[in-house]
Amino acid sequence: MTDILKRNNVRVIGEGEQVMMFAHGFGCDQNVWRHLIKVYQYKYTLVVFDFVGSGKSDLAAYDIERYSSLEGYAADVLDIIDALQLREVIFIGHSVSCMSGLRAAILKPQYFSKLVFVAPSPCYLNDGDYVGGLNREDLDSLFEMMDANYLGWSSSMAPLIMGNAHMPELGEELTANFCATDPDIARKFARVTFFSDNRADLAKLSVPSLTLQCLDDILAPVEVGYYLNKHTPNNTLVILEATGHCPHLSAHVQTIEAINGYLSNYSKSDARLLSNDIVAEDGL
């Protein structure tokens, strides 16, 4: 049987009955959650991991078929929850992983208590009246950039990166490469995620969710946040006064405050009151 925890380089940190699971987006790995881990480890049991093909996951487990759609990544999320026998998880996803979390929560709603989407997008490409923010040419231009930048990845480093997180002699090289990804896998991951259209799935979500959208994010403009909020049952939208696509790195205090505000305000009894509300960031 596959060792899921090794395959996805799963780490369990902290204490607390409530489980919080963090899913990194496209680009780096679980290290992007460092600021949130520091704060939440004293209150929650935290589960962080790397998707197969990223960070220190098992590259040999990369299966083109499985990961040719977001279903494969959603299956990774459910595999980890099964392996650790978790329930009522608060799932926090960034960027493309929000939709993997959404797929997972549609398949197994009983596994989740809440979903938090950080800079999500159900569809990156503009389509008729829908503003996704990007055109086909924009993505082609991004893929060209990715081909021109291997970011320190080399095939000789790959076996070292995978599964050696605790070997101090590799420390320096590993930290220098933690955003390094096999370019072939990164290219496929990018195509799967950026060309996916999950708009039709939004209405199927029964788990309550929070959307955190940044004011100035070229990958997921605010229109996307409003769209997602409008079409997802029980969704709360908070617009963060942060720029860029990674508020958990660039404006972590705001991000944490917004999540805290949502988690403390939200209980099953007032679900109706809060659902599909748009909350100003400073109002929390």
Q: SS3 breakdown of the chain: % helix, strand, coil, rounded to 5?
A: 45, 20, 35
Query: What does the DSSP 8-state code read for residue 60?
Result: G
Active site residue 95: yes
Q: Given the complex with another protein, which of 92 and 219 has the nearer CB atom?
A: 219
Candidates 19, 28, 89, 104; binder of another protein (CB under 8 A) is 28
Active site residue 217: yes
Sketch the per residue contact string, 176 through 195, with another protein: x for CB under 8 A, - otherwise.
Answer: x--x----------------
> Could you say which of 54, 95, 113, 196 is catalytic?
95
Min CB(149)–another protein separation in Å: 5
Site for another protein in 220-279 (CB under 8 A): 243-246, 249-250
Q: Given the complex with another protein, which of 45 and 255 has the nearer CB atom?
A: 255
Using CB under 8 A as the binding rule, whether residue 63 contacts another protein is answered as no
Q: Given the complex with another protein, which of 151 and 203 has the nearer CB atom?
A: 151
Produce one character per residue of 174-207: b if its CB has 16 or more CB atoms within 10 Å, e if not.
beebbebbbeebbebbbebbbebebbebbeebeb
Min CB(192)–another protein separation in Å: 15
Q: Which token pair is 242?
A: 């942060």
Beta strand extents in the chain (DSSP E only): 11-14, 19-23, 45-49, 89-94, 112-118, 209-216, 235-243, 278-280
* Contacts (Cβ under 8 Å, ≥6 apart) of 174: 56, 160, 161, 164, 165
What gap in Å lies between CA 151 and CA 145, rounded to an integer? 11
Min CB(84)–another protein separation in Å: 26
Q: Which stretch binds another protein (CB under 8 A): 39-47, 73-81, 174-182, 261-269?
A: 174-182
Closest to 73 measured CA to CA, from 97, 57, 46: 97
Min CB(247)–another protein separation in Å: 11
CB 22 within 8 A of CB 36: yes
Site for another protein in 130-159 (CB under 8 A): 134, 137-138, 140-149, 151-152
Closest to 222 measured CA to CA, from 198, 247, 189: 247
> Could you say which of 94, 245, 248, 252 is catalytic?
245
Q: Count the site residues for another protein by CB under 8 A.
A: 33
Please count the other Cβ atoms lying within 10 Å of the Cβ belonging to residue 122: 23
Q: Which token pair is 238?
A: 């908070």
Min CB(170)–another protein separation in Å: 16
Q: Which residues of the chain form contacts with another protein (CB under 8 A)?
A: 26-28, 31-32, 34, 134, 137-138, 140-149, 151-152, 175-176, 179, 217-219, 243-246, 249-250
Q: Which residues are catalytic?
A: 95, 217, 245
